[in-house]
Structure 1
């Protein structure tokens, strides 16, 4: 099982330090969340900067709110990031649940699922080189079919979307109810006649040592309540949690860090025995 780091969002100027430490300590992925009505950095721009600062580690959105963006321009932005990073980008995409993001973008909230369905089809067509409304949009991505697509999903319609359009599932649910989501995705994958198996990427919030207090405050501010997303802060619990996700069959576990001190990277790597 691979291990990724979910980057903090409060101080974008520190993210290059996070990226360099994560790559040197053996983490596999840098992930960044997406909101519009919040003070987080725009993920595609931020990950582009980090792509230029690194050479090995993968770059992933979790999840990009696709319907907030014009599809043709989004396809071009993603293809540019993918090709200039040497094919290191993975598109994690979804619809989100915050109505204020959609209001600020003048995008209908109620039809966001249908908008994403259309968008995913058109993204693949554009990356394949097909005409989009009479025009061909480049550059071509690093691979012919475009970067891997992971879809964040909880609802049945969204889980079906993984089999129709995605390469895997971004599962933000705790292990206590992730199994049902993953089994549904596998069933839909088989019913759709897809070969192979969907990639399963899971997430947990973490913070160690002096980062615990700032992380809890940042998570509370982000969710608007203090009882959601409480980070794992005990080293032994973290080791056990990683082992549990490995036994569960996750392909990757992304450890989300909301406190912005880059020394968390070294602390986490030490606890997990990374180089």
Structure 2
């Protein structure tokens, strides 16, 4: 099972160092959250910079809030990032939960699920090199991979599993314990089989993590608490943060046992030395 790092957003200036350290270590992917009404760097711009600072490690949106974005422009941006990264882009994509992000964009929050389905049809059409619509020609550049970059849907419900089966390459699910992730993974696999898709979906889990002195752990808990404050389960997600070598090793084994292809360890403290600490903690 691969292990990637979800990047902290509190200090954007430190992210190139995170990326370089991660590339020198055992990590497979760098992930970055997408929010608008929040103090985080814009993910596509940032991941483009990090892709330029690295040569091996993959970059991933975790997850891109597609329904608040203009579809044609998003298709072009993602194909461009895929090309500039040499095909190292994974598009984690989802409907988004926070209404304020949609209000700031002037986008409709209520029908975001239906809009995402419409957008996926358009993205696949653009990435296949077909005209965008009636009277509208193709939108380039072509992505590195025929048909477009890898797409993982974020979510926890049956509708997410159906989207994976219809439009995606796999699932990304965050901050669920392994036993609940097991149920979700099996639901996605069943939808994939019913749709007659060949092979199997990629299954990616995410867990919050922080390693270091108490000041690092306190910073991570505050940052994660602020991010999850709108959820009723926010405190539970902070309490479940992995803060020791033993906890990280146990999580890696447990998610591997339920069939995860990759575990993203999402870091909330800006201290880049965590990259080396987490690398040393991996089994």
The TM-score, its normalising length taken from structure 2, stands at 0.94
Aligned-residue offset at 1:136 = 1.2
1:154 is aligned to 156
Inter-partner Cα distance in structure 2 for 1:244 and 1:178: 10
Q: Which runs of 5+ in 1 are unaligned?
A: none
- Pairs aligned (count): 273
Alignment of 1:179-218 (within 5 A): 179-210=182-213, 211-218=216-223
Alignment of 1:102-141 (within 5 A): 102-133=102-133, 134-141=136-143
Alignment of 1:23-34 (within 5 A): 23-34=23-34
2:179 is aligned to 176
Aligned-residue offset at 1:174 = 2.0
Aligned-residue offset at 1:61 = 0.6
What's the RMSD between the two structures over aligned residues? 1.0
Kindly indicate whether the alpha-carbon contact (under 8 Å) linking 1:127 and 1:146 is maintained by their aligned counterparts in 2: yes
Kindly indicate whether the alpha-carbon contact (under 8 Å) linking 2:90 and 2:149 is maintained by their aligned counterparts in 1: yes
1:96 is aligned to 96
Kindly indicate whether the alpha-carbon contact (under 8 Å) linking 2:173 and 2:205 is maintained by their aligned counterparts in 1: yes
C-alpha offsets along residues 177-200 of structure 1, whole Å, 9 cap, x if unaligned?
112211111111011010000000
1:263 is aligned to 273
> Does 1:233 pair with 2:243?
yes
2:84 is aligned to 84
1:53 is aligned to 53
The ranges of structure 1 where at least 4 consecutive aligned residues each deviate by more than 2 angstroms after the TM superposition are 225-230
Partner secondary structure for residue 91 of structure 1: strand
Inter-partner Cα distance in structure 2 for 1:178 and 1:266: 27
The TM-score, its normalising length taken from structure 1, stands at 0.97
Kindly indicate whether the alpha-carbon contact (under 8 Å) linking 2:68 and 2:108 is maintained by their aligned counterparts in 1: no
Q: Which runs of 5+ in 2 are unaligned?
A: none
Partner secondary structure for residue 34 of structure 2: coil
Aligned-residue offset at 1:223 = 1.2
Aligned-residue offset at 1:176 = 2.8
> Does 1:63 pair with 2:63?
yes
Aligned-residue offset at 1:229 = 3.1
Which deviates the most, 232-241 or 6-15?
232-241
> Does 1:248 pair with 2:258?
yes
Aligned-residue offset at 1:235 = 1.2
Which deviates the most, 46-55 or 216-225?
216-225
Kindly indicate whether the alpha-carbon contact (under 8 Å) linking 2:182 and 2:259 is maintained by their aligned counterparts in 1: no
